[in-house]
């Protein structure tokens, strides 16, 4: 937000002006707080899964900065004349289970009456400020860009809203969204990553564009290398179930984007698809890519090499075939 008052404090390492995933505040020479909050409307029908997804999505911003989430507080807005206590309990239970998996203590929360259901977390994490903070501005020329989760949550969720998603698609989408980015953040730290961000509402191209702009580079993404959630490509190829977010994301980057003529329309949709609780986009030296992939595999995780950073050109992002 351009209107957001500029913050000036000698210990504020990352603030609103940087447009990063979370704020970072130095407490002492070896301790900094990483703070973020996020909430969303239901993306699935099951209340327990909704709580799990919202929690994983909220925690992700701390992981994206290279931090460790420590505590969380629930943020709940709900129509008190329509939802039962059982539904609300299932949402909170889902979030609590994800936080327990992450080793995060839920220390409280706040609820308000609202016509539309919304849920998420305010999260506090820690990191050592003497180490690298994974800011958007850290991408270096020659870095490879590694993605740690497949794309397509927006495509499937929009199909679900139109009663057109299969149980298999919903299950695959839910499994991706409830998977923590904890392992990816740890491996990024181990392998000397220069920058990272989590792929959420702006889609892959939007978040890559923010990294490229902050770092003074151009990022080229290979469309054919993009990983896809099972069943999402069928929706992308159908030419149906376009979301407003998909169109907004394309509008956000189109002035800074070149798309090669050989890139299929389905991959354009995938690259602009707004994600919920998406993976990390990690920028790291080319010499560390094999190590990163190996360490991720040892933890039962995946990693896809999808592009590279080069000298700033006329545009910030190139989507190649």
Contact 222, 251 (CB under 8 A): no
**What are the chain's domains?**
12-127 (3.30.1330.10), 136-320 (3.90.650.10)
As beta bridge partners, residue 32 has 26, 127
Contact 221, 306 (CB under 8 A): yes
Residues 194-229 pLDDT 10s: 999 999 999 999 999 999 999 999 999 999 999 999
Q: Which two tokens stand for residue 201?
A: 């509402």
Q: Cα(151)–Cα(200) distance, rounded to whole angstroms?
A: 10
Contact 136, 214 (CB under 8 A): yes
Alpha-carbon distances of 195 from 95, 219, 224, 296, 304, rounded to whole Å: 28, 13, 23, 17, 16
Q: Which two tokens stand for residue 3?
A: 């209107």
Residues 85-142 pLDDT 10s: 999 999 999 999 999 999 999 999 999 999 999 999 999 999 999 999 999 999 999 9
Residues 36-63 pLDDT 10s: 999 999 999 999 999 999 999 999 999 9
Contact 299, 184 (CB under 8 A): no
3-state secondary structure of 265: helix
């Amino acid at each position: 937000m351009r209107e957001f008052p500029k913050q000036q404090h000698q210990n504020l390492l990352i603030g609103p002006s940087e447009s990063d995933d979370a704020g970072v505040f130095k407490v002492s020479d070896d301790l900094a707080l990483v703070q973020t909050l996020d909430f969303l409307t239901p993306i699935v029908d099951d209340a327990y899964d909704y709580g799990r997804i919202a929690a994983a999505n909220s925690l992700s911003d701390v992981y994206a900065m290279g931090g460790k989430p420590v505590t969380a507080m629930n943020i709940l807005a709900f129509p008190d004349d329509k939802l039962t206590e059982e539904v609300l309990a299932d949402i909170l239970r889902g979030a609590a289970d994800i936080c327990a998996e992450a080793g995060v203590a839920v220390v409280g929360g706040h609820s308000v009456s609202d016509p539309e259901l919304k849920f998420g977390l305010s999260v506090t994490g820690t990191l050592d400020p003497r180490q690298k903070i994974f800011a958007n501005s850290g991408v270096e020329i020659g870095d490879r860009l590694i993605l740690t989760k497949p794309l397509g949550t927006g495509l499937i969720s929009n199909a679900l809203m139109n009663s057109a998603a299969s149980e298999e698609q919903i299950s695959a989408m839910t499994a991706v969204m409830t998977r923590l980015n904890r392992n990816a953040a740890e491996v990024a730290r181990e392998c000397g990553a220069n920058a990272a961000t989590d792929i959420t509402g702006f889609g892959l191209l939007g978040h890559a564009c923010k990294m490229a702009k902050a770092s003074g580079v151009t990022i080229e993404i290979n469309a054919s290398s993009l990983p896809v959630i099972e069943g999402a490509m069928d929706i992308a190829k159908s030419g149906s179930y376009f979301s407003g977010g998909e169109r907004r994301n394309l509008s956000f980057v189109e002035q800074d984007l070149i798309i090669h003529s050989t890139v299929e329309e389905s991959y354009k949709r995938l690259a602009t698809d707004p994600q919920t609780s998406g993976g990390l986009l990690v920028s790291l030296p080319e010499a560390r890519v094999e190590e990163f992939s190996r360490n991720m595999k040892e933890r039962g995780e995946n990693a896809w090499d999808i592009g590279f950073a080069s000298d700033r050109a006329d545009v910030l992002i190139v989507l190649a075939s």
